Amino acid sequence: MIKIEAIVREEKLEDVKEALNKIEVTGITVFQVMGCGVQKGYTEMIRGQEVDFALRPKVKFEIVVSTEEWERKTIQAIQESAYTGNVGDGKIFSYDMRSVMRIRTKETGTAAIN
């Protein structure tokens, strides 16, 4: 099993959800998060004062898939749907999961995520 975490622009939330739905990835968790990378935040004028915002609003997706084939398909769908070509498009991380359990049935492994 593989866990995929993707941090993308807020305005790409619906595009990414739609792309994942098209490839039939339905088990997702979405968070509103704040962060910065290369762009280092931004500066805005508020009441005539320059204010630095070090963190930008983003959306984080967490998805668990059963195979490396699904990992590739999922990452490709996220990358294509979240891409703008500008700094701040986000990051995608993937890593192996040791275990998972469905609380209601106590199923473990792949059975717990299908």
Mean pLDDT in residue range 92-107: 96
- Residues contacting residue 80 through CB under 8 Å, at least 6 positions apart: 19
pLDDT band at 17 (very low <50, low <70, confident <90, very high): very high
Task: Measure the CA–CA gap between 17 and 6, rounded to whole angstroms.
Answer: 12
Asked whether 20 and 28 are in contact (CB, 8 A), the reply is yes
Shortest CA distance to 33 belongs to which of 85, 113, 90, 103? 90
Asked whether 54 and 40 are in contact (CB, 8 A), the reply is yes
Task: Give the model's pLDDT for residue 53.
Answer: 72
Task: Give the model's pLDDT for residue 36.
Answer: 80
Domain extent for 80: 2-113
Task: Measure the CA–CA gap between 2 and 24, rounded to whole angstroms.
Answer: 16
Task: Measure the CA–CA gap between 14 and 93, rounded to whole angstroms.
Answer: 20
Residues 27-75 pLDDT 10s: 999 999 988 877 666 677 778 887 777 788 999 999 999 999 999 999 9
Q: Check whether 5 has a pLDDT greater than 90.
A: yes
- Domain count for the chain, please give it: 1
Query: Which letter does DSSP use for residue 12 in this model?
Result: G
Q: Check whether 100 has a pLDDT greater than 70.
A: yes
Q: Check whether 106 has a pLDDT greater than 90.
A: yes
Asked whether 4 and 90 are in contact (CB, 8 A), the reply is no
Q: Which domain CATH number covers 40?
A: 3.30.70.120
Average model confidence (pLDDT) for the chain?
92
Query: Which letter does DSSP use for residue 66 in this model?
Result: S
